[in-house]
Chains A and B, each alone.
Chain A
């Protein structure tokens, strides 16, 4: 019986559009959570795969020692894809010339992530391939062909073996960014390695076991592996903890997505809360009537709980459908635009979305529903009677608890949720206080104003407490909106700054000192912009404060050395440079940059300083071509590894290195369309070798494009959620005003006066909310930028103007619209319905 009544109420109210806002709010929260988590999940996986290319795998286990075969077998048995990659330096010999090369010997399956690209010409656009060099063949870097004057089909000798050069390697996913300091690469089969005889005990070889597969399997494998990785011998790497230039951008993007989605979820939940309040208020009379007609409390409880349940389930179903459709469309679009098939998402997002919709619908309705159920039947006679339940704190408790719960299950990060929640709590309290203060102030201002203003002020005053709650939800919506917009701009600008359209895509290495000026001029004439020319002196760091950095030829086994990892980056030749001034995009974090004509000294890059435990004032000893000297460290410096300009670990002042013979390095940007000019451009400088970064830059751009797309989507969702909160709130507060408006109307107040007074009231509320929102937004943005994103805080004075203006206009328009709707009916009709 109750079910029938309940369903009938539901059907009729749906038909009459009375549940639209409530249903929309639930649908939105479900849609938002579903599409966001599916999308960000997929996007993250997609980005992960993409950035995994920088490792050519999801995880890499690397070591100086040979890695046991059974470790690979075990990985294979755990459904992981595997490949070997063995790397070392050696001399290559061809046409009676010697050249130091990086040999990379790989097994079938390499690369596990990303693709090799090969060409038949040096510096040509490569074709993706899944093949590897055949036995006895080698694929080599363009630079090697250039420097040794070789062509495809020539032979090259590595140790005791001779290889046919069958392809030019135009792109290797795991080539990295430090490429300009490295030797040209040669790719061969691992099975060909033994015959070369190049690997002897004591030679500096890096063994890598590449792994890829599901996160779960990888984690399981690592669990199994971890106990076996005693000592410093092994290093376990994933993209995220890597130094890849993408890692930082990726982490930021992830955090932004998470944060923005959280804000979206909060907004949608707020919309549900506002709508739920109104939903219950509208049913006060119905409950009183039902009670008068003899319905028991339990019957009424059943009727309304069932009603709400059906509404919620229906909304969740619609939300699922919509969310599914949206993410399918987005994924389709991504696939079309970026040629990327994103991996499948599981069922979890669906469960998460349903939980969100359900929990917020139930929890936000709980308190209003409790009030609704305790409406006394006497209300039928005494029309203004309301529930005797007035435990407002219950409402705060339910809402607060729910939002916190949603934050936690959505982000699965305790600290982020707690911080956000606590911050939100403080913000809410302050907002409430401020908005009350403003309302009080506005009365005094209104006293001198015209009659519509006075009416508006009086209205504001009378509803001060409910208005301050309304302003809270206006302010929250506006603030979160502004926050997401501003954050998005910051992030995009940041990326844009790192990757300007004319980011250098070529490095020219080994420029002779005599050619620098000439080359600068020539490039300028051809309208090709170069970065600074940096002198490069190959050298070796041998001592830190008289502590010997063990050389590879040292007698002690390298594994015994605690500094083993340390030596890795520096045991080889380092590229040293000198400069008068601090390079662009570098920042001194400790000590000071030198004055002109100072004594010999060196500035060390932060990361290598950390790795080698070099501190300010340490004495570093270098060996350059047999000449040994010591200099003090006078500054530690951050370099921007995301910028595509030459970066150096060690920079000396000119006095130190000026006497050594050097070559120079520079980078420049050449549009793809002008690629054919490359040869003529560099023709006068045959000794210059060229490093093509186009592929890497393109990849970075693609990632940024994907992330930007995601961000726009999040933004749209947040805007919709914000708009819904505004609409729901305006509708609710209009309802409060209706009775009063009708009375004024009946008393003969002209429609224009009423319309104006309503508009002014909303105008004031919108403006105040907007102002509060902008201030709160800027504060939280500063916090987020400095604490979460590791960016600098930037103030947005523009928003302080835009916020109140936009708030006033939007809120007033919405209010006026719903007022207009009300006043369109004639007075008699109004009286019948509202008095």
Chain B
């Protein structure tokens, strides 16, 4: 079991009193699974993702990744877990604007102390079809191209798990489709576990499992 949550909850204090964003969730995801999380806006999908990835801490319950309890780790150790095992793709791409496409892709590899970062990044860019644009800055690239750079960046560290929060949300249908293709292709090649939040039904259909979030409660379609 790669990811396991037990009674995972998220509450926040607001000016109108406490707000329960996630009701207790028990979830198990095996290595190699591809999981789609769907649900209405504001239902708590991104929140779940942030807890699974250790970007945020739960109010109650626990998240285990590869047997490690994220709740017990400090910020530093959680960063290490992310560096070793996790890749990300976001709706708004989130590339470092002052670095070129190539340098953006190199970042995680470099942070992991990989001495062949540049070479591998080149290969990654080639495999997403952007070899020619390696030295362009994010603002010189289209949205689809930026997302492909983000994908290359996510896969360069050969992560065990890839989290994607609405990876095609900012793109037109055709470009979105291309991005999806790429995502599943790399996912298959590397045997990555994929957890993708999406509004896109077609994307959800391609996944092996489909979770539905409604008002902070998670259910699974069989």
Provide the residues of chain B in CB contact with A376, threshold 8 Å: 55-56
Q: From residue 74 to 100 of chain B, which have CB atoms closer than 8 A to chain A?
A: 75-76, 79-84, 86, 88, 90, 92, 94-100
Q: Is B94 in contact with A285, judged by CB distance below 8 angstroms?
A: yes
Provide the residues of chain B in CB contact with A382, threshold 8 Å: 46, 50
A289-302 toward B: CB 8 Å interface, digit per residue (1/0)? Answer: 11111111111000
Q: Is A293 in contact with B108, judged by CB distance below 8 angstroms?
A: yes
- Name the interface size band of chain B: 35 or more
Q: Is A747 part of the binding interface, using a Cβ–Cβ cutoff of 8 Å?
A: no
Q: Is B86 in contact with A294, judged by CB distance below 8 angstroms?
A: yes
Q: Is B88 in contact with A290, judged by CB distance below 8 angstroms?
A: no
Q: Is A291 in contact with B94, judged by CB distance below 8 angstroms?
A: no
Segment from A3-11, A527-535, A584-592 that makes contact with B:
A3-11
Q: Is A4 in contact with B99, judged by CB distance below 8 angstroms?
A: no
Segment from B64-72, B110-118, B185-193, B213-221 that makes contact with A:
B110-118
Q: Is B139 part of the binding interface, using a Cβ–Cβ cutoff of 8 Å?
A: yes
Q: How far is the CB of B212 from chain A (nearest CB, A)?
A: 20
Return the contact of B98 from the options A9, A290, A299 (Cβ within 8 A). A9
- Of chain B, the residue at the smallest CB distance from A299 is B111
Residue from A16, A288, A380, A382 having most chain B Cβ neighbours under 10 A: A380
Q: How far is the CA of A299 from the CA of B157 in the complex (A)?
A: 18
Q: How far is the CA of A121 from the CA of B84 in the complex (A)?
A: 97
Q: Is B108 in contact with A12, judged by CB distance below 8 angstroms?
A: no
Residue from B92, B98, B111, B165 having most chain A Cβ neighbours under 10 A: B98
Q: Is A294 in contact with B108, judged by CB distance below 8 angstroms?
A: yes
Q: How far is the CA of A352 from the CA of B96 in the complex (A)?
A: 37
Contact status of A294 and B139, CB under 8 A, knowing A5-B107, A377-B55, A378-B56 = no
Return the contact of B50 from the options A9, A12, A285, A381 (Cβ within 8 A). A381
Q: Is A833 part of the binding interface, using a Cβ–Cβ cutoff of 8 Å?
A: yes
Q: Is B143 part of the binding interface, using a Cβ–Cβ cutoff of 8 Å?
A: yes
Return the contact of B99 from the options A12, A294, A298, A378 (Cβ within 8 A). A12
- Of chain B, the residue at the smallest CB distance from A15 is B98
Q: Is B49 part of the binding interface, using a Cβ–Cβ cutoff of 8 Å?
A: yes
Q: Is A292 in contact with B110, judged by CB distance below 8 angstroms?
A: no
Q: How far is the CA of A286 from the CA of B95 in the complex (A)?
A: 8
Q: How far is the CB of B124 from chain A (nearest CB, A)?
A: 14
Q: Is A383 part of the binding interface, using a Cβ–Cβ cutoff of 8 Å?
A: yes
Q: How far is the CA of A8 from the CA of B110 in the complex (A)?
A: 12
Q: Is B111 in contact with A380, judged by CB distance below 8 angstroms?
A: no
Q: Is B111 in contact with A1, judged by CB distance below 8 angstroms?
A: yes
Q: Is A13 part of the binding interface, using a Cβ–Cβ cutoff of 8 Å?
A: yes
Q: How far is the CA of A198 from the CA of B58 in the complex (A)?
A: 105
- Of chain A, the residue at the smallest CB distance from B104 is A289
Provide the residues of chain B in CB contact with A546, threshold 8 Å: none
Contact status of A378 and B111, CB under 8 A, knowing A8-B99, A291-B79, A298-B76 = no
Provide the residues of chain B in CB contact with A377, threshold 8 Å: 55, 79
Q: Is B143 in contact with A295, judged by CB distance below 8 angstroms?
A: no
Q: From residue 100 to 139 of chain B, which have CB atoms closer than 8 A to chain A?
A: 100, 103, 107-108, 110-113, 137, 139
- Of chain A, the residue at the smallest CB distance from B141 is A832
Q: From residue 295 to 317 of chain A, which have CB atoms closer than 8 A to chain B?
A: 295-299
Q: Is B56 in contact with A294, judged by CB distance below 8 angstroms?
A: no
Return the contact of A5 from the options B86, B88, B110 (Cβ within 8 A). B110
Q: How far is the CA of A16 from the CA of B88 in the complex (A)?
A: 27
Q: How far is the CA of A540 from the CA of B112 in the complex (A)?
A: 96
Q: How far is the CA of A16 from the CA of B98 in the complex (A)?
A: 7
A residues contacting the other copy or chain, number (CB 8 A): 32
Return the contact of A381 from the options B55, B80, B99, B100 (Cβ within 8 A). B55
Provide the residues of chain B in CB contact with A833, threshold 8 Å: 139
Q: Is A380 in contact with B94, judged by CB distance below 8 angstroms?
A: yes
Provide the residues of chain B in CB contact with A297, threshold 8 Å: 75-76, 79
Q: Is A18 part of the binding interface, using a Cβ–Cβ cutoff of 8 Å?
A: yes
Q: How far is the CB of B70 from chain A (nearest CB, A)?
A: 13
Q: How far is the CA of A591 from the CA of B46 in the complex (A)?
A: 87
Provide the residues of chain A in CB contact with B81, threshold 8 Å: 294
Q: Is A292 in contact with B99, judged by CB distance below 8 angstroms?
A: no
Q: How far is the CA of A112 from the CA of B79 in the complex (A)?
A: 73
Q: Is B139 in contact with A296, judged by CB distance below 8 angstroms?
A: no
Q: Is A292 in contact with B88, judged by CB distance below 8 angstroms?
A: yes
Q: Is A380 in contact with B88, judged by CB distance below 8 angstroms?
A: yes
Q: How far is the CA of A604 from the CA of B80 in the complex (A)?
A: 87
Contact status of A378 and B80, CB under 8 A, knowing A9-B98, A9-B99, A13-B98 = no
Q: From residue 2 to 34 of chain B, which have CB atoms closer than 8 A to chain A?
A: none
Q: How far is the CB of A491 from chain B (nearest CB, A)?
A: 47
Q: How far is the CB of A10 from chain B (nearest CB, A)?
A: 9
- Of chain A, the residue at the smallest CB distance from B51 is A378
Q: How far is the CA of A126 from the CA of B79 in the complex (A)?
A: 84
Q: How far is the CA of A8 from the CA of B137 in the complex (A)?
A: 13
- Of chain B, the residue at the smallest CB distance from A825 is B139
- Of chain B, the residue at the smallest CB distance from A10 is B98
Q: From residue 380 to 403 of chain A, which have CB atoms closer than 8 A to chain B?
A: 380-383
Contact status of A293 and B55, CB under 8 A, knowing A8-B99, A381-B50, A381-B165 = no
Provide the residues of chain B in CB contact with A13, threshold 8 Å: 98
**What are 11 A-B residue pairs whose CB atoms fall within 8 Å in the complex?**
A1-B111, A12-B99, A286-B98, A288-B94, A289-B94, A294-B81, A294-B112, A295-B83, A297-B76, A298-B76, A382-B46
Contacts A5-B110, A293-B83, A294-B81 supplied; 7 other A-B pairs, CB < 8 Å: A9-B96, A289-B107, A294-B84, A294-B111, A297-B75, A376-B55, A377-B55
Spell out B's residues near A (CB within 8 Å): 46, 49-50, 53, 55-56, 75-76, 79-84, 86, 88, 90, 92, 94-100, 103, 107-108, 110-113, 137, 139, 143, 153, 157, 165
Instruction: List 10 tightest A-B contacts by C-beta distance, closest first.
Output: A294-B83, A294-B82, A293-B108, A12-B98, A378-B55, A13-B98, A377-B55, A296-B79, A378-B56, A296-B76
